[in-house]
Amino acid sequence: MESVDRIRRASRTIDLEAIDHNVKKHIDAQFPSLDSLLAQHGQSQAEAGPSQPMKRTDSRRSAKDRHKRGLEDEISYWQAKKRAADAELATTTSTLPDMLHAAQERLQKLLESAQSLSIQRYALADKLGNLIAELQSSAETDGSSREEDNRSGNRKQSVLEQMESMSSELARLEAGLAWATILEQVVVMSEQILSPQTHHPSPLGALPIYQKLDSLVQRMEEILPPDMGLLRIIVQTRDTTWNALKDIMSQDLLKACEALKWPLRVDYASVSPAERRAFERSYQDLLVLQAEGEAMGRLPVLSPHWSSGTGLYPLQAMIQPIALRFKYHFQGSRNTNRVDKPEWAFSNILDQIYEHQSFLEDYLQPLTARAGFPDVDVKSEFTMLLFPILLGMLRSRIPKLLDHPALLAHTIYQTVVFDDSIREGGFDLEAVSLHEKSKTIPSWEGLAGVLLKDEGWFQQWLNGEKKFAESQLKEILASPEAWTITDEVAEEDVEQVEAGMRPTTSARQVKALFEQITDRYAPLPSLDYRLPFLTTIQLPILVSYHSRIAGSLDAFETLSSAFARVVPGALSGNTRAGVHIEPAKLTGGSNGLDRLCKAYVSAAWVLNALRVWADDSFFVEMSGELKDSVHLRWKLHNDQYLPAEFKSSASVSHIGASIFDTVLDKLASTQQRAEDMIVCHVTVEVQNELKEHLKRRWDQTSLTDDPAPDLSLVNALSTYSSHVSAVRVNLSSLVASRIYRRIVGHLSNHISQRAVYSGWSKFSTFGGQDFLHEIQDWVQTSSSAMLGSNQSTEDELLVSSAIEYPWQTLMDAGRLLSLPEDDGKGTATFAQAMAAAWSDGEESRVLFCQRAGTSQMGSQEMQGILRRRVECWR
């Protein structure tokens, strides 16, 4: 390395400028002044050459020595250095060729060695690649090339793949051997359990073997993953073995039951002791088997539903002959299998319970208690195990009945009746084996509750009933007799007809339709099922019928208006195409009154029915349950037909609230509207007829013996009589009386305002008498119209005062206006009336009214009437 360094230094290029700079720097440092350059002394004391580093202790001495060296000493020093360098250069120049040759030879050897090593490296890399290729898995190669090689058969498995394949195959074989060993053990034990050789003296002798089988399966369940096929197979084998052992013992019990003539009524006392012992042993063996199964953990995680058919093993076996006989009669081709007679099937099951009740309670109950099930009620257990028989029949029938709402409703009704019979018979779900150890026991919802939850059958039934009801309503309203007032009513409505209240055909049919739907869903066990019928079908029907009545009144008002256009929905006002009917003929006169009376009668009949239904115990109970049910009120908070009290999430405290209140209010409003329109129609038509008559003068000076009748008054009286008669005939007596009073009140006020207080002229005595006679004609016409031709004398006397009373005001006015001027016959005179009216005493006015035959009147009223006399001086 030293020679190499010397070669590098010698071959380095000389930098003259750097040398000059260093020389100058050295001279400046060595001779900083002219004095130091000229100094010639002290050569021996200072050594020429480059200055050496100064030590801290010799700093003062070195500064003095620096000034003692001279120029010649310095030159001598560097000359000596040059000679030494020349000598070294000569030596190096002589030895350099040999050293370069030696270095070249060594470098050539190193290069040849490096080339050889590189070749070896590439050879090792190729060899390593080949080894890796031989061990590489086929999964890491290109998929397309691998498939191509597989198709052509050119590809060979690598060593690693062969090792992996053999290892996997070995593992599979070992696992298969282990599986086969386990399966062999399970199958062998299963065959031993079911073998008759192990059933001595009873099949219970096979229980120890089954316990070993169950222990083996449980160990496998702890070791193997739950989704493993082997585990499913051995678990299935264990369960199948248990069920097969149970079936063997059940057949032994059924053979023993043949001596009892089961399933006929059992006379256990007449059975021989040997046969009784065989039966009791087989019965108790099955209970022991069930108890052992429960001890081994053969219990479901969740209690099965009561309709699943799970129960005591011996009773399950004894149910089988009953189920076969039931299917033969009610699910086969026998004439007893009728979809319109589900009550026959229910009666058969009820008969089974009744016939075997004593045998179950007197004999099987003690046997069951001694076998380890003392808390199980055998009768309830037996009853529960009969339910799947009926449910199977109903589930096969109901899909066929969905398109026949009447049959479906009848089937559901009979199911509910059966449920009620079971409850009344003492069925106790808490006393069956399913809930023997349960802490929480659900309530028994009955067969109807199970059916209504299955496969959306309730919703399909509800939709079918709704479609049926809507089609029925359309037929009712489309009938030509829909708005005809009829006397044909149901038996429960006869009293209303006798009271004079008759319905239209449509109102009677709508009520019957409502009650028909109620009868179909009333037996349903829960409000969750009953309420949708009311809110989805019944209330919309009533609202639709109300809308039709209200629409007819709207049409009547429209046809009566100046616009006079045809409006659909008028009661009995539809016309055929091409036939022109003037609106005035539809709404004027008796035709218009008939339409209004039909609207009133229709609304009143349904309204009265609603009030009866609102007080019915069924709907009162439904209202109460809805008030107490928060979740149902929340579900119905958007229902437009229920009152607001039933849609609030808060508790309902309205004791008198009914679920019909909203529809009641609508119908009551429409009924009142129809009544108002009847009163308006009659009064307007009579007033129009009176228009000309009320323009007459009342100040004539004489009274003709046979005055000619005023045609305007005659027409008004005729119109009035016909309308009031129509009101009496079409409406009940109570309603007709009320409407009559309102009509007379309007007419009386109209005549008073137009004739008495602001007529065309004042009254003379003769004019007043004419006015009084006219009022008496109005009263007589009212009496004839209200009483009719078939009224008896007794009836006439009873209602005459009621008929005259609304005219009393006009009668009093007529009597005052007809008072004579003199007292020729001892009657009250006009002068006396003036004195009484303007007197200060109340007593004189009272006495005058009694004498004149008028009702008690105030002074202001008397004065107003008397001022209409020509003779009045006040």
What's the domain count of the chain? 4
Average of per-residue pLDDT across 131-144: 60
- Cα–Cα distance measured from residue 660 to residue 53, given in angstroms and rounded to the nearest whole number: 125
- In total, the chain counts a number of residues equal to 874
Of 668, 683, 711, which residue is a domain's last?
668
pLDDT at residue 785 above 80? yes
Q: Do 533 and 642 have their domain in common?
A: yes
From residue 405, give the alpha-carbon distance in Å to each of 274, 400, 402, 427, 531: 55, 11, 6, 30, 17
User: Quick check: is 622 in a domain?
Assistant: yes
Tally Cβ neighbours within 10 Å of residue 718.
13
User: Quick check: is 650 in a domain?
Assistant: yes
Most confident residue range from 297-301, 494-498, 668-672, 865-869: 668-672
Backbone angles phi, psi at 295, to 5 degrees: -65, -30
User: Which domain does 823 fall in, by range?
Assistant: 819-874
DSSP annotation of 408 reads: H
- Cα–Cα distance measured from residue 589 to residue 573, given in angstroms and rounded to the nearest whole number: 14
pLDDT at residue 339 above 80? yes
pLDDT at residue 582 above 50? yes
- Cα–Cα distance measured from residue 399 to residue 618, given in angstroms and rounded to the nearest whole number: 29
CA 540 to chain centre: 19
Can you count the helices (H) and strands (E) in the chain?
35, 0
- Cα–Cα distance measured from residue 675 to residue 607, given in angstroms and rounded to the nearest whole number: 14
User: Quick check: is 779 in a domain?
Assistant: yes
Q: Do 702 and 759 have their domain in common?
A: yes
pLDDT > 90 in the chain, percent: 32
Residue 394: how many CA atoms within 13 Å on its side-chain side?
Answer: 31
Helix or strand or coil: residue 763?
Answer: strand
Q: Do 105 and 120 have their domain in common?
A: yes
Q: Do 26 and 104 have their domain in common?
A: yes
Q: Do 852 and 759 have their domain in common?
A: no
User: Quick check: is 655 in a domain?
Assistant: yes
The pLDDT, as a whole number, for residue 57 is 43
Tally Cβ neighbours within 10 Å of residue 852.
19
The pLDDT, as a whole number, for residue 139 is 47
The pLDDT, as a whole number, for residue 54 is 44
Tally Cβ neighbours within 10 Å of residue 16.
7
The amino acid at 430: E
Q: Do 744 and 842 have their domain in common?
A: no
Residue 201: how many CA atoms within 13 Å on its side-chain side?
Answer: 4
Of 813, 841, 856, which residue is a domain's last?
813
User: Quick check: is 320 in a domain?
Assistant: no
Q: Do 528 and 656 have their domain in common?
A: yes
DSSP string, 418-443: HHHHHHHTT--GGGSGGGSS-SS---
CA 113 to chain centre: 93
Give residues with Cβ within 8 angstroms of 233, minimum separation 6. 183
Of 109, 124, 139, which residue is a domain's last?
124
Q: Do 825 and 809 have their domain in common?
A: no
Of 60-64, 232-236, 479-483, 549-553, the least confident: 60-64
The model's confidence at residue 583, banded by pLDDT at 50, 70 and 90, is low
Query: Is residue 600 within 8 Å of 674, Cβ to Cβ?
Result: yes
The pLDDT, as a whole number, for residue 163 is 79
The pLDDT, as a whole number, for residue 835 is 82
The model's confidence at residue 799, banded by pLDDT at 50, 70 and 90, is low
Query: Residue 485's beta-bridge partner residues?
Result: 504
Q: Is the C-alpha dihedral spanning 787, 791, 792, 798 positive or negative?
A: negative
From residue 707, give the alpha-carbon distance in Å to each of 31, 764, 869: 178, 16, 21
Q: Do 571 and 624 have their domain in common?
A: yes
pLDDT digits (tens, 9 = 90+) for 77-136: 888 888 888 888 888 888 888 888 888 899 999 999 999 998 998 888 888 887 777 666
> 655-659: long-range contacts at Cβ-Cβ below 8 A with a sequence spacing of 24 or more?
657/623, 657/627, 658/614, 658/619, 658/620, 658/623, 659/534, 659/614, 659/619, 659/622, 659/623, 659/626
User: Quick check: is 324 in a domain?
Assistant: no
pLDDT at residue 351 above 90? yes
Of 196-210, 413-427, 654-668, the least confident: 654-668
pLDDT digits (tens, 9 = 90+) for 701-751: 676 555 567 888 899 999 999 999 999 988 888 899 999 999 999 999 999
pLDDT digits (tens, 9 = 90+) for 504-519: 999 999 999 999 999 8
H or E stretch at 607: helix 589-615
Give residues with Cβ within 8 angstroms of 280, minimum separation 6. 367
Average of per-residue pLDDT across 539-554: 94
Q: Do 633 and 758 have their domain in common?
A: no
Does 649 or 769 have the greater pLDDT score? Answer: 769
User: Quick check: is 244 in a domain?
Assistant: no
The model's confidence at residue 824, banded by pLDDT at 50, 70 and 90, is low
Most confident residue range from 17-26, 701-710, 765-774, 850-859: 765-774
Q: Do 545 and 664 have their domain in common?
A: yes
From residue 29, give the alpha-carbon distance in Å to each of 56, 75, 583, 712: 19, 15, 143, 160
The model's confidence at residue 332, banded by pLDDT at 50, 70 and 90, is confident
Q: Which two tokens stand for residue 251?
A: 């057949």
Closest CA to 386 of 414, 427, 336: 427
Query: Residue 763's beta-bridge partner residues?
Result: 869
The pLDDT, as a whole number, for residue 252 is 93
Helix or strand or coil: residue 373?
Answer: coil
Buried b (16+ CB within 10 A) or exposed e, 301-330: eebeebbebbbbbbbbbbbeebbeebeeeb
pLDDT digits (tens, 9 = 90+) for 590-644: 888 999 999 999 999 999 999 999 988 988 888 888 877 765 666 565 666 777 6
Straight-line distance from the first to the last Cα atom of the chain, in angstroms, rounded to the nearest whole number: 165
User: Quick check: is 695 in a domain?
Assistant: yes
Q: Is the C-alpha dihedral spanning 245, 248, 254, 259 positive or negative?
A: negative
Give residues with Cβ within 8 angstroms of 65, minimum separation 6. 42, 45, 46
Q: Do 60 and 99 have their domain in common?
A: yes
The pLDDT, as a whole number, for residue 39 is 61
pLDDT at residue 543 above 90? yes
DSSP annotation of 504 reads: B
- Cα–Cα distance measured from residue 278 to residue 255, given in angstroms and rounded to the nearest whole number: 9
pLDDT at residue 584 above 80? no
Query: Is residue 329 within 8 Å of 336, Cβ to Cβ?
Result: yes
Helix or strand or coil: residue 845?
Answer: helix
